Amino acid sequence: MKNLIDILDLSTSEIEQLIDTANDIIDNPDNYRKKCRYKKLATLFFEPSTRTRLSFEAAMMELGGNVLGFSEANSSSSAKGESVSDTIAVVGGYADIIAMRHPKEGAPLVASMKSDVPIINAGDGGHNHPTQTLTDLLTIKREMGHLDNLTVGLCGDLKFGRTVHSLIAALSRYSGIKFVLISPKELELPSYVKDAHIKANGIPCEQTTSLDDAMEKLDILYMTRVQRERFFNEEDYLRLKDSYILTPEKLKNAKENMIVMHPLPRVNEISTAVDSDKRASYFRQAKYGKYIRMALILKLLEVE
Amino acid sequence: MRVDSIKNGIVIDHITCGKAMQIYDMLNLDKLDCTVAILKNVSSNKMGKKDIIKIDCDIEINFDVLGFISPNITVCIVRDGKVAEKKHIDLPEQLTDILHCKNPRCITSTEQDIHHIFRLTDRENGIYRCIYCDTKA
Ligand SMILES: [Zn+2]
């Protein structure tokens, strides 16, 4: 493997390996502090995403490497800039590995076709965000102990939420998975995602509009943001938004060992009162993101 | 009109009824100087009705275009009045620079000098998707 563009570029055993490495980094951080000495990671963010960029940069720094890069103030300015191919031709000469975020879908794939150094897709528009999915998988593995035999509730905007689509694709390859899709009618999971992954793998799947009804069955509750701009009218938004806000009250029916995940940033879909509940995993999830990116950088740079 | 006496050329047979003109356009056959015959609604035992195109000169053909527009086409290469080669054209695995992605958020909408590539993702239903953004063709 030379690049990571789509989570399905990785086999389940490659994912397993990355998770093992990340776990080892967490347990023995000292062993990794000089692994990437004299190596440079370029973070090319044609669209701002502070969290993802910081996570990549922290990952490289903890491996003893250096970082360089840019972040466009807004996504439209990159449209006027030079082509992806030209940018890569230049930056490829400065860096050993590149993490790229771009508003256009497929931009990192184009970069990988032109580049001599490994490319990591750090998000391409509403399309893919494979390091988020790796983060989610590491979180599930660490918090639940396994990636199979889980009932996974996905709640909120399932229509536009790319993190949800990728997570479904990734988890559909494990046995004993069940999905519970919790969303308003307007934001249901697109049928092509259902067909390509859930149906194709014969995975049991329930669809509901009620978070309360689903709660007690779940091993994992993956929350996403229900954005105002996704709705045609304000009335629908106001009517629906509260039913997808997680509160301690709603958690009462949940299993004791369930975990609550969220790709962050959250706005109001998880009440801050939930943060102190031991089932709230989202801040740990954000931290795991750094470790899995460290593992990924090591793998792509073929550092032993 | 004599259309069956090609000496050196190509016969594209078993075209889905009504698709001949689309093939004519996509292969740019209007640019040719030689005789080109388009037969529409020809009776066929196998298909009921079919279209046929006969081209009276030896040209290079993009078989991917044929397979994409109308699967199950047969192409006969005629040399010295005889069928020298017969090819059955199936849905191609990949289409390069034949279709353009319609998704405005796709990198192909802004990046210059890029190949537009679609891959067959569902053979049963003949569905192609852009390799960059996964949008359906
Ligand atoms: Zn596209």
Q: Span B46-58, mean pLDDT?
A: 90
State residue A74's pLDDT score.
64
- Cβ of residue B84 closer than 8 Å to a chain A Cβ: no
Indicate if B85 and B104 belong to the same structural domain: no
Residues of A in contact with B105 (CB under 8 A): 103-105, 125-126
* Rounded Cα gap, residues B57 and A171, in angstroms: 55
Residue B38, amino acid = I
CA A259 to chain B, closest CA, distance in angstroms equals 32
Indicate if B37 and B100 belong to the same structural domain: no
Indicate if B99 and B83 belong to the same structural domain: no
- Record: contact A104-B113, CB cut-off 8 A: no
pLDDT digits over B107-128, tens only?
Answer: 999 998 899 999 999 888 889 9
Residue B1 pLDDT class (50, 70, 90 cuts): very low
Q: Is residue B53 part of a domain?
A: yes
- Cβ of residue B62 closer than 8 Å to a chain A Cβ: no
Residue B63 pLDDT class (50, 70, 90 cuts): confident
- Record: contact B110-A79, CB cut-off 8 A: yes
- Record: contact A83-B112, CB cut-off 8 A: yes
Q: Is residue B44 part of a domain?
A: yes
Q: Residue A143: which region, alpha, beta or left (left: phi > 0; alpha: psi -120 to 50)?
A: alpha
**Which strands, in side-by-side order, build the sheet including B82-89?**
B36-44, B48-55, B9-16, B73-79, B82-89
- DSSP codes joined into one string, chain B: ---S--SSEEEEEEEETT-HHHHHHHTTGGG--S-EEEEEEEEETTTEEEEEEEESS-----HHHHHHHSTTEEEEEEETTEEEEEEEE---SEEESSS----TTBGGGT-SS---EEEEEETTTTEEEETTT--B-
CA B104 to chain A, closest CA, distance in angstroms equals 9
Q: Is residue B3 part of a domain?
A: no
State residue A174's pLDDT score.
97
Q: Is residue B39 part of a domain?
A: yes
- Give the domain range for residue B102: 94-130
Q: Span B66-80, mean pLDDT?
A: 89
Closest CA to B19 of B43, B44, B50, B46: B50
Residue A250, amino acid = K
SS3 string of chain A? CCCECCHHHCCHHHHHHHHHHHHHHHHCHHHHCCCCCCCEEEEEECCCCHHHHHHHHHHHHHCCCEEEEEECCCCCHHHHCCCHHHHHHHHCCCCCEEEEEECCECHHHHHHHHCCCCEEEEEECCCECHHHHHHHHHHHHHHHCCCCCCEEEEECCCCCCHHHHHHHHHHCCCCCCEEEEECCHHHCCCHHHHHHHHHCCCCCEEEECCHHHHHCCCCEEEECCCCHHHCCCHHHHHHHHHHHCECHHHHCCCCCCCEEECCCCCCCCECHHHCCCCCECHHHHHHHHHHHHHHHHHHHCCCC
Q: How many domains does chain B have?
A: 2
Q: Is residue B58 part of a domain?
A: yes
CATH-assigned architecture of domain A130-286: 3-Layer(aba) Sandwich (3.40)
Q: Is residue B137 part of a domain?
A: no
- Record: contact A84-B113, CB cut-off 8 A: no
Write out the two tokens for A48. 């701002």
**Closest-CA residue of chain B to A108:** B132
* Rounded Cα gap, residues A140 and B58, in angstroms: 61
Sign of the torsion angle spanned by Cα atoms A121, B114, B61, B102: positive
Indicate if B106 and B42 belong to the same structural domain: no
**Which strands, in side-by-side order, build the sheet including B117-122?**
B94-96, B117-122, B127-130
ipTM associated with this complex: 0.89
* Rounded Cα gap, residues A111 and A107, in angstroms: 6
- Record: contact B108-A106, CB cut-off 8 A: yes
Set A39, A40, A101, A194: catalytic member = A101
B122 to A17, A123, A198: CA distances (angstroms): 31, 26, 16
- Contact between residue A245 and residue A274 where contact means Cβ atoms under 8 Å apart: no
Q: Do domains A7-128+289-300 and A130-286 have the same CATH topology?
A: yes
Indicate if B85 and B99 belong to the same structural domain: no
Residue B4 pLDDT class (50, 70, 90 cuts): low
What pTM was estimated for this model as a whole?
Answer: 0.89
State residue A132's pLDDT score.
97
Q: Residue A15: which region, alpha, beta or left (left: phi > 0; alpha: psi -120 to 50)?
A: alpha
Residue B61 has pLDDT above 60, yes or no: yes
- Contact between residue A67 and residue A39 where contact means Cβ atoms under 8 Å apart: no
Q: Is residue B18 part of a domain?
A: yes
**Predicted confidence pLDDT, tens digits, chain A (304 residues):** 799 999 999 999 999 999 999 999 999 999 999 999 999 999 999 989 999 999 999 999 999 999 999 988 665 545 556 789 999 999 999 999 999 999 999 999 999 999 999 999 999 988 999 999 999 999 999 999 999 999 999 999 999 888 999 999 999 999 999 999 999 888 999 998 999 999 999 999 999 999 999 999 999 999 998 877 777 788 888 877 777 899 999 999 999 999 999 999 888 899 999 999 999 999 999 999 999 999 999 999 999 8
CA B64 to chain A, closest CA, distance in angstroms equals 23
Q: Is residue B62 part of a domain?
A: yes
Note which residues in 108-137 of chain B have CB less than 8 A from chain A: 108-114, 130-134, 136
Domain end, chosen from B89, B105, B120, is at B89
Set A2, A33, A37, A51: catalytic member = A51
Q: How many CB pairs under 8 A join A and B?
A: 49
The label of the residue with tokens 């035999």 reads: A149
Angle, alpha carbons A136-A139-A141 (nearest 5°): 110
Indicate if B84 and B109 belong to the same structural domain: no
**Closest-CA residue of chain A to B113:** A85
**Ranges of each domain in chain A:** 7-128+289-300, 130-286
- Contact between residue A59 and residue A303 where contact means Cβ atoms under 8 Å apart: no
- Contact between residue B72 and residue B14 where contact means Cβ atoms under 8 Å apart: yes
- Record: contact A84-B109, CB cut-off 8 A: no
Name the residue facing A106 among B106, B112, B136 (closest C-beta): B106
What is the CATH code of the structural domain delimited by A7-128+289-300?
3.40.50.1370
State residue A38's pLDDT score.
96
The CATH number of residue B76's host domain is 3.30.70.140
**Closest-CA residue of chain B to A87:** B111
Name the residue facing A105 among B107, B112, B114 (closest C-beta): B107
* Rounded Cα gap, residues B46 and B51, in angstroms: 12
Closest CA to B1 of B45, B38, B51, B50: B38
Measured from the Cβ of residue A76, the count of other Cβ atoms closer than 10 Å reads 10
State residue A80's pLDDT score.
57
- Record: contact B131-A125, CB cut-off 8 A: no
The CA B107 to ligand 1 mean position distance, Å, reads 7
